[in-house]
Amino acid sequence: MATGQLFSQTTQALFYNYKQLPIQRMLDFDFLCGRELPSVAGIINPGAEGFQKLFFGQEEIAIPVHSTVEAACAAHPTADVFINFASYRSAAASSMAALKQPTIRVIAIIAEGVPESDTKQLISYARANNKVVIGPATVGGIQAGAFKIGDTAGTIDNIIQCKLYRPGSVGFVSKSGGMSNELYNTIARVTDGIYEGIAIGGDVFPGSTLSDHVLRFNNIPQVKMVVVLGELGGRDEYSLVEALKQGKINKPVVAWVSGTCARLFKSEVQFGHAGAKSGGELDSAQAKNQALSDAGAVVPTSYEAFEDAIKETFEKLVEEGRITPVKEVKPPQIPEDLNIAIKSGKVRAPTHIISTISDDRGEEPCYAGVPMSSIVEQGFGVGDVISLLWFKRSLPRYCTQFIEICIMLCADHGPCVSGAHNTIVTARAGKDLVSSLVSGLLTIGPRFGGAIDDAARYFKDAYDRGLSPYEFVESMKKKGIRVPGIGHRIKRGDNRDKRVELLQLFARTQFPSVKYMEYAVQVETYTLSKANNLVLNVDGAIGSLFLDLLAGSGMFSKPEIDEIVEIGYLNGLFVLARTIGLIGHTFDQKRLKQPLYRHPWEDVLYTK
C-alpha cells in the first residue's frame, strides 16, 4: 500500500445509500476549509434517480442521484473516493462493484458486521489492484483543511475545536472512530493539529492496517510526527513494530495500545469492537505496548500520560527546527440551519401553515385536542370525528347521529346521476381509483348535490327576516333564482323522497327545535300549489335541518352559524357521503371488467 497522501482539497467522493446528515456535515466541512467544489459529487441510491437538495455554505445546491454504482462513476469520472453507508448485508457487494470501477481509488466502508469472508475478498482485490479500503466498521478519515469522510470528527463545533479546518503536522491512525474524536481534540491541545487522521475500523479484518497508514504518513512531507492508538486483540500492531525495527519509519511515533485493564478479568474479555478481544499474551495491550517501545516508539506508561508524551515529542521537534508550528487562521462562520436556530432561540421565523383541528406532534395524534386513544376508547363514530375535525367540538350524540344518517342517505343515488356516470365512464377507461373518484366529484355543484349550502343560506335569511313562504318564493322568482332545495326530476307531491321523510322523522323525535325545517315544509306547501314536482328535496331537507342542529344545540353563536353556512360546510357532507358511492362504482366497474364506454349514436341528436 504505502504511497502517500490520500486526499486533497480537490478530492470528490460518491456517497452510497443517501444519508442527509453525514453528507451535509461533509459539505459544511468543505465550506469551513474554503473548498471551491463540494466534496460530494454524486449520490448512489439503488432504484432512485434525480437530485438531492443540500447546502454548500449559504448556497443551496442539487447533488445528482444515481441508481447504480456504474452510472455514478460514469457521470463523475473525477470522483475517486467511494463512501459506503450500506448496511452490513449489502456493503460487500456494493463495495466490490465500486472497487471494479477504474475511477475509484479509495473506499470507506462504514458498516460493522460485514461477513469476514466478504471482507477478505475485498482486501485481496484491493491489494491486487493497488486500491485502498478503509473499514469496515469505520467512521472514516479526514484530511485537515481539505476533505473528510461522512461523520468523521463529529459536529462542526468539534471540528473547529480540534482545528481540523486547516492542516497541522501530525498524522494519526486508530482503530476506533470514537476514540479518534477524542485524540483529535487531545492532539489539537498540545500540537499544531492533525494533518491527516484515519480510523481503520474495529472489525477483525480491517481493509487497511495501522502500519499501512503509518508507512504512508512517512512518505508525506507535511507529516512531521505520527500518533497511533491501537487496542488489544489481533496482531496488527506487530506489523508496525516490524516496520519500526526495519527502519522503514524515520519520523517519531507516539503510540498507545488501549485495553490494559483486560488483565483484571479472570476470563477472556470481548471489548466493543469485534477485533478487540483479549486472547493470548501477544494479543494483550501490555505486550503490544512493550513491543512498540522496544522498537523505538514513544510509549507512555498509561493512557493518562499519552497527551504529555505527544506534547513532549511535538515540542522537541519544534526545538530541533523540524516543525514550524502552523499559524492559526480564523475559520468562516457556517450558516446555521433554520430549525436548529429556532430551537436554540436565536431566530424567530413565521410559520407557513396554521392548523387548529389536529396535532400529530405528541405520542399520538389528536383531533381538536382529543387523543386518538380517547376517540377509540369512548366508542366515537364517524359523526363524532367529523364534529371534532369540522366543528372543533364534541357535539351531542343526536347531532353526530344526524351527520351519520346524512352520510348514509347520500352515499349513492344510483348509476344514472351525473357524478356516478362520470365515475363509471372514467373507471371503464382504465383509469385509477383517484382519477375515477375525482371525475365524479367534479360534477358536484349548483345543479347536482351542491345546493345544500344555498338552501340553508336562503331558508335562514328568509326565516330570520320573517318572510312568509309566499314572500320568499315570489321574491326569488323576481330575482330569477330558483329556490335551492326545492324541486326534483322524479319525485312528486304524491311520491315523496323517502330520504327526506327519514330525516324529518329523526329530527322531529330527536332535535330540541325544528323551526327551519318547518319553515322549509311551509315553503314546499306553497311551491306544490304551483307544480307537483316542486317538492322539498334532500338538499333542502339537510340544509334546513342542519340549521336546526346548529341553532338548537346551543353550541354555536350566530356569527359561527353564519360562517359555517358561508364557508360551505354543508355541501361538504354531500361530498363526503357521495365519495363512498363513487368509490363503490369504481370498484364495481373494475370487478365486472367492463370495457371502454362509448355513447350510442342513437342517443345523440346530430343537427346543424
* Catalytic residue positions, numbered: 273
Query: E strand or H helix at 298, and its extent?
Result: none
Partners of 101 in the β-ladder: none
Give CA–CA dist 460/258, Å, rounded. Answer: 84
Per-position DSSP letters for 413-453, written without gaps between them? --SSSHHHHHHHHHHHTT--HHHHHHHHHTT-BTTBB--HH
Give CA–CA dist 128/375, Å, rounded. Answer: 65
Give CA–CA dist 451/483, Å, rounded. Answer: 10
Phi, psi of 231 (to 5 degrees): -155, 160
Q: Give the largest Cα separation in the chain, rounded.
A: 117
Give CA–CA dist 188/326, Å, rounded. Answer: 11
- With b for 16 or more beta-carbon neighbours within 10 A and e for fewer, the 283-315 pattern comes to bbbebbbebbeebebbbbeebeebbebbbebbe
The CA R_g of the chain, rounded to the nearest whole Å, is 38
279: its cell numbers: 486472547
287: its cell numbers: 505486550
Phi, psi of 277 (to 5 degrees): -130, 120
Give CA–CA dist 415/431, Å, rounded. Answer: 18
Per-position DSSP letters for 165-210, written without gaps between them? TS--SEEEEES-HHHHHHHHHHHHHHSS-EEEEEE--SSSS-SS-H
